Amino acid sequence: MLGLTLLDGIAFAYFAIAWAVYAWIVEIWGGRRRGLTAIMHSYRHRWMAEMLVRPNRIVDTQINMTLQQGSSFFASTSLLAVGACLGLMNASDRALEVVQGLSFGHAGSRQQWEVKLAGLMVIFVYAFFKFGWAYRVFNYCAILIGATPEGDRRTSEEAQAMATRAAKLNGIAASHFNRGQRAFFFALGYLGWFAGPLVFVATTTAVFAVLYRRQFMSESREAVL
């Protein structure tokens, strides 16, 4: 099917399952085990609570703008990666020659090459949508920060409710940003497929292991606990 072998199909299924399992670990299981993402999510609520008592909110808008700029950078990078995939698709014959010339090259047929490139392109398109939406939601969060009552009203129930909404919206934006970054990381594992299905499995496992360690056993996690 599509010029792929059974081993290719098994390797791709392993890749998809590894991605889905890691997403579940971080977004659901990690909330109970206090993964780095879950810990930082609690700090977003702490941030918005501190925002209420500041005399002005320039610092808060600057922090939010920095997060927004990160989303913008990665969204642009995603489009560049999609363009690079299209360029490789257009130069498939030359690319196949280069890969086959490598000692570890395993490009396969032209059809296999194009199917693999199409899959890589889909990953970067997915990442673009995630980063693009994160950018927009961070923008909405800035509006909520600006709409939060200040002065004598900053201790009111209305102000507390607005701060909670801003924290939740910031967390939603971060979730989409994290999913986009996750797509980038697993795209690195996907590149192993161009060297063969067994290498694909190995690179996917390596990406999974590195991300898991950083999420639950890294110095960064210890620092914020």
Largest CA distance in the chain: 72
Residue range 183-190: average pLDDT?
97
pTM (2 d.p.): 0.89
Residue 177: its pLDDT value, please?
A: 97
pLDDT at 51 over 80: yes
Task: Report the Cα–Cα distance between both ends of the chain, in Å, rounded.
Answer: 49
CB neighbours of 110 closer than 8 A, spacing ≥ 6?
92, 93, 96
144 within domain boundaries:
yes
Residue range 6-35: average pLDDT?
89
Contact in structure between 180 and 127 (CB atoms under 8 Å): yes
Distance separating alpha carbons of residues 107 and 20, to the nearest angstrom: 26
Helix (H) or strand (E) holding 1: none
At 167, list the tokens. Answer: 């924290």
In terms of residue numbers, what domain contains 74?
6-224
Distance separating alpha carbons of residues 29 and 2, to the nearest angstrom: 36
Short-list 111, 114, 122, CA closest to 90 = 114
Whole-number mean pLDDT of the chain? 88
1 within domain boundaries:
no
Q: How many angstroms separate the Cα of 42 from the Cα of each of 68, 98, 224, 225? A: 19, 48, 11, 11
* pLDDT level of residue 132 (50, 70, 90 thresholds): very high
201 within domain boundaries:
yes
pLDDT at 92 over 70: no
Residue 104: its pLDDT value, please?
A: 56
* Rg, C-alpha atoms of the chain: 21
* pLDDT level of residue 19 (50, 70, 90 thresholds): very high
Residue range 97-125: average pLDDT?
77
Phi and psi at residue 37, to the nearest 5°: -65, -45
Residue 123: its pLDDT value, please?
A: 97
42 within domain boundaries:
yes
- The number of distinct structural domains making up the chain is 1
Residue 90: its pLDDT value, please?
A: 77
166-176 residue pLDDT tens: 999 999 999 99
Q: Which residue has the tokens 């939010």?
A: 64
Q: Which residue has the tokens 């395993």?
A: 106
CA 208 to chain centre: 13
